[in-house]
Structure 1
Amino acid sequence: MSMMDSVATALAQLPAEQRDSAARELAELYALQIDCDPDALETYGPKLLAVLDALGLTPKARAVATKGGGADEPAAGKRNPADELRARRAARLAGAKAVDTATS
């Protein structure tokens, strides 16, 4: 099976959405480049992987989707340190007691 065949099979599993058409075409173009010139794998392989990842067609992308994380939010159980500081500040402003009551 060629790379183009594999990519076409994967793309066929996705719902056809107009907003994804450019990414779909790009994936097909990269796959075609790899099929035409196997030496192009080093150049186009990572690019193809990135497009497939963006379309949710890699194990990594499916794991993120399953855990509920996305590009704009951390995976379940992982918080951004800046978000942690914001939460502490919001609690402090809402009248929560300080951690060290001896200094308050």
Structure 2
Amino acid sequence: MKKIVPDPPIPTPFLGHFGSCNGAHAPLFAVRADVDIQDALAHLSAALTAAFETNAQLCEMLSRPVADVAWSTYQSLEICQALSEALLENVAKKQATE
């Protein structure tokens, strides 16, 4: 006997959630388990670039000692940005050779 209504799609498991406003409500966003690594790295790189630029503006506006904390964050974001861009380039090169 055939089913008249098909089964609903099986939900994709999530690797992580974000956007919960420190637990004030359920998370608004999630990272899917089947995410394409190149797409994920592209979004990561864009988000890090935005954070890097925003933090750079903040560094210029603050005075010490708070500015020292902002400069520390600036350097950490710079490292993360360089790493994510290098990984993105590496993934793109590997996919181009396949």
TM-score between the two structures when normalised by the length of structure 1: 0.35
Structure with the larger strand share: 2
Does 1 or 2 have the higher relative contact order (CA < 8 Å, sep 6+)?
2
Structure with the larger helix share: 1
Give the greater-gyration-radius structure (CA).
1
